[in-house]
A and B are shown apart, each in its own frame.
Chain A
């Protein structure tokens, strides 16, 4: 384990975070709020630690897979701890565990909140809250990679650990160029959404924060009632469309830009994604006809909520806890599904779901024809056995972690639905669950212990479990491997 290099890279990340903290600080000065002091203090702390860690360049700058995993997992923890300081120091979120929960939920793009009165926060704090979603969406290290050359040749290990999906590939030969292209697409889409919301008449501040939350598929709103507060079908349509867009593999936008339209339309995962969205919206809308007055209303709420849950965003325009059981179960299933690999969404990912079904099919065939030779394909390419085993292992670990979290949360006195969906919503980085943690409730009621469990679940979910697990294993930190 090259510890020097791990800490050096984390130092670089902290310097980047210090720079990011300047943005809410400047907004506070603009709004005439007193929050700028807290942001500058936090930025100074981050920069101070960053400078100490990056003071000497390590001689051995080589990193391998485990350093990559450790760097990413530690970086996300450190980022969250530093990032929660403004909330805590300013006293706007008085308890440290709550401030940390809110920040972890922000960076991991979960959107689970402990705030009972969101509108009571000052605007600079709300901006930072949504901004954490935007940063966490694609990944912090990936962002830093675009700006400074990180770790050189083997930086692919960092990318693998931070980006999501069963197989992570570069789109261009140089890691830095790839990072720049992806971030350029990300920024462009965010700006387009801001503009569209502005055209519809949403105030600038609300447009920016909501666009940040949509881009990261996070779900923090600046309103207590989330998007329902506006009751505006235009806003809902724009946000629905962009939630779905951010659920698409960002690489596909690049292929579209370079004119490779065929590979976009032939993308198997994208087709499945679109199919699932259409089917789910149709089924839920039909089921909701009895609840809402017109078919149009039912379609409006169904489409928004399906998109919000499937892309793990977690905005709300309706309190779906009051919907019929059938629709609730559909939403619950969607929670486990997630959107495309390589997007800003979390959860299981459609690519993995497709893979799992094909593996299942192959195993059944093998039972019938023990000598049959068959390969599992995705997107016309044969998937190697190690990816298949990795996908199955992911499913297994995922179930174990979900059950363990559920067990740990059983100390709470809430009903089963609340406890279970709290775990599901955090592990899949969705945000609101059902019951008391539904869209109209929040996570403030939980004990500090449960919050700690859920925070770890959120990190597990965003980093797809293995980086965090590896960092917790003592063998990773042994000097001699």
Chain B
């Protein structure tokens, strides 16, 4: 069953969201004030475009809101977004999501949801801060995708030179590291592989592994790369994201240092975050960074308003051998540059927000049909990791040992969660009813677990 969605606002978040939703084949209508934006987006994606003010009844009627399952408002005005959702709700849209960025509204999210009837209020700065927080807690990984409500993880890391992994044939992996982990995806330059046992790793490869927490820690231990948690973080730029992230880090006892250029903002932050160290200075000045001890910090996160500045400071920090460097890069056109510049971790608030919204769409979809619980697009969209819930007792899959299943090519069962247990599958593993199964594939468009069979 496909979901009927109306998206108001085709800006940064809107276009990322539309791309994702169109790829997943939903029936999407875009509403935007600018005819140009509507034309550009309808040319690029298979969606319908309506030009007009998304908060008016006439425009919403034209866009088919009364019969829509979901309305997502992501224009650049919070008030406009809330109004769109209110009108849509009255016209008969089943679910509504609003992007609300202003921190002053944060305290009344509960009220907005319960009294005004919105299904979800999403704050791009807050979700980005949460993502950064997650990355900082597991610093060895390039990125982490979580499944089954955070219990199972797909962790990405780079094979370094002189690592045990470099030159290793995957068949020998269990003997060598002694921990039960599964390498699901290997990214080598422009190529992406779903490796078999004969595959030999090389240094420079980016691998993504599925493992339970315990095995993962053991695995990192063998690699010698483990530094369990970050003790001190330096943030460049005192943006809203910095504020949210500082709050989270300070709560678990991490030292936070924020370098902010604008004095008024620095003072404001100082009042808001009494436990953090706020420095008023220009972070593009190397001497400031050195003076504030960039060499001794565990992590640097660049969060200024300028992508270029973020990338350059992150490059500098990488050069100073800071163990974990993360850059915020908002513009999608620069994401290719980030990889080329040798920065392993970059976050894009636009993608993270769009992902969260798409996640919600999938939840709506599940309530009316398909079976995908979570979906991540990895390696520039060429690999998908999907989580399916096994709801029925289908005899083709349930109860059959994995080695007996004839899977399509380029499909790998990465892990199975059963209750609180994480199972890294082997040939004799059996899928049971009630399990959640994570599948990694280069063939897009799987809708059901049965789709993985030949």
Name A's B-contacting residues (CB within 8 A): 152-157, 170, 172-175, 177, 384
Contact = CB atoms under 8 A, between A and B. Distances in A.
A439 to B, nearest CB: 43
B48 A152 contact: no
Interface in B38-70: 42-48
A153 B46 contact: yes
B47 A173 contact: yes
Interface residues of B, number: 16
A384 B29 CA distance: 21
A173 B3 CA distance: 11
Contacts of B43: 154, 156-157
B48 A170 contact: yes
9 A-B pairs with the lowest CB-CB distances in the bound complex, closest first? A173-B48, A173-B27, A153-B45, A153-B46, A175-B46, A173-B28, A173-B29, A173-B47, A174-B27
B35 interface: yes
- Scoring A155, A156, A177 by chain B CB atoms within 10 A of each residue's CB, the highest score goes to A156
Contacts of B45: 153-154
B46 A172 contact: no
B22 interface: yes
Contacts of B23: 153
B27 A384 contact: no
Residue of A173, A174, A177 with highest tally of chain B CB at under 10 A: A173
A224 B4 CA distance: 52
16 contacts: A152-B46, A153-B23, A153-B45, A153-B46, A154-B43, A154-B45, A156-B42, A157-B43, A170-B42, A172-B48, A173-B4, A173-B27, A173-B28, A173-B46, A174-B2, A175-B46
B35 A153 contact: no
B32 to A, nearest CB: 15
Contact of A172 (B27, B42, B44): B27
Nearest to B18: A153
For the residues of A in contact with B, the DSSP-based class is helix
Contacts of A170: 42, 48
Nearest to B19: A153
B62 to A, nearest CB: 10
Given A172-B27, A173-B27, A173-B29, A156 B46 contact: yes
- Among A152, A155, A174, A177, the most chain B Cβ lie within 10 Å of the Cβ of A174
Interface in B222-237: none
Nearest to A155: B46
Contacts of B25: 174
Give the residue among A153, A154, A155, A172 with the most B Cβ atoms within 10 A: A153
A377 to B, nearest CB: 14
Interface string B94-130: 0000000000000000000000000000000000000
Given A156-B42, A175-B46, 17 more contacts: A152-B46, A153-B23, A153-B44, A156-B46, A157-B43, A170-B42, A170-B48, A172-B27, A172-B48, A173-B4, A173-B27, A173-B29, A173-B47, A173-B48, A174-B27, A174-B46, A384-B35
A154 B47 contact: no
Given A174-B27, A177-B27, A154 B35 contact: no
Interface string B1-23: 01010000000000000000011
B44 A154 contact: yes
A380 to B, nearest CB: 12
A177 B64 CA distance: 15
A174 B24 CA distance: 12
Contacts of A177: 27
Contacts of B42: 156, 170
Task: Name which of B27, B35, B42, B48 has the most chain A CB atoms within 10 A of its CB.
Answer: B48
Contacts of B4: 173
A208 to B, nearest CB: 35
Contact of B22 (A153, A157, A172, A384): A153
Contacts of A157: 43
Contacts of B46: 152-156, 173-175
A244 to B, nearest CB: 29
A156 B44 CA distance: 8
